[in-house]
Amino acid sequence: MRYLVTISYDGSNFYGFQRLVGQRSVQEELEKVLTIINKKKTQIKGAGRTDKGVHAYGQRAHFDLDISIPKDKLKKAINDMLPSDIRITNISIVEDSFHARFNVKKKIYQYKINIGEYDPLLNNYYYQFNNKLNMNTLRKCAKLFLGVHMFKNFVSGTRDNYQAIIYKISIKKEKNFITITFVGQSFYRYMVRNMVGAMLDVSTNKASINDIKEMLEKYDIKKQLSCAPAQGLYLMKIFY
């Protein structure tokens, strides 16, 4: 039977979601528990990767069990054995043809920034920018990323295809905290962090809006602005 789970985790002490030899990962912790429950080696397939230090409220993954367990009992059994920085928040039964990665229709990410005074308690959960930002400029930059673009200059590593769709970017400021929400179809490695970094560079006059336009339009000319740190990034929700 195939199960789809929603996973919440504090990424501070993980090397990322994906299993890596010699490094602590969310995938490995989940697979350890599922192997015990299923009484045989059991692997999960995630909806996507998150990097070292990135957090999640709504990561998704599927796995197959040889035994049938009611969803509520399975959720409790998994959570009872997981470390305190991971939790399964929802479980559903899906068709055997379902795939957590290939069936994704939309993802929501958020990036959190502290523009106020430095706060050591926020280190793992906000980008401690600790400087004022021009909100109008941030919003102007955000509009440039909307729609279909080749994001080659905003992605780390090489891919066969760099095209992605960004449906919506919203920016909210509450006191000294800024939250930037990205809604899109596909997000590649470091893509959100590079978009945020570029927006911050323009807002602080380290780059211009034309730089971002050029990076999107002339994607074969390699150019990169700042990359925002991982700890401010959250995978919020995945839609199927």
Task: Taking each helix axis as running N to C, give the angle between helix 71-81 and helix 26-38, from 0 to 180 degrees, rounded to the nearest 10.
Answer: 120
CB-count exposure of residue 51 (10 Å: 0-12, 13-18, 19+): middle
How does DSSP classify residue 176?
T
pLDDT band at 223 (very low <50, low <70, confident <90, very high): confident
pLDDT cut 70: percent of the chain above it? 100
Q: Do the domains at 2-94 and 106-239 have one common CATH topology?
A: yes
Give residue 130's pLDDT: 96
Query: Which residues, listed in sequence order, are joined to residue 182 by a DSSP beta bridge?
Result: 109, 169
pLDDT > 90? residue 127:
yes
User: According to DSSP H, which parts of the chain are helical?
Assistant: 26-38, 71-81, 135-145, 191-203, 209-217
**Top-level class of domain 2-94:** alpha beta
pLDDT > 90? residue 158:
no
Beta strands in the chain (DSSP E): 2-9, 44-46, 55-64, 86-94, 106-114, 127-128, 147-150, 163-174, 177-184, 233-239
User: Average pLDDT, whole number, for the chain?
Assistant: 96
Higher pLDDT pick, 68 / 119: 119
Give residue 59's pLDDT: 98
pLDDT > 90? residue 240:
yes
Compute the distance between CA of residue 166 and CA of residue 185 in angstroms, rounded to an integer: 7
pLDDT cut 90: percent of the chain above it? 95
pLDDT > 90? residue 224:
no
Which residues carry out catalysis?
Answer: 51
Give residue 221's pLDDT: 83
pLDDT tens for 203-221 read 999 999 999 999 999 988 8
Give residue 219's pLDDT: 87
Give residue 92's pLDDT: 96
Give residue 220's pLDDT: 84
Give residue 50's pLDDT: 96
pLDDT > 90? residue 166:
yes
Domain map of the chain by residue range?
Answer: 2-94, 106-239
| Overall fold of domain 106-239 | Alpha-Beta Plaits (3.30.70)
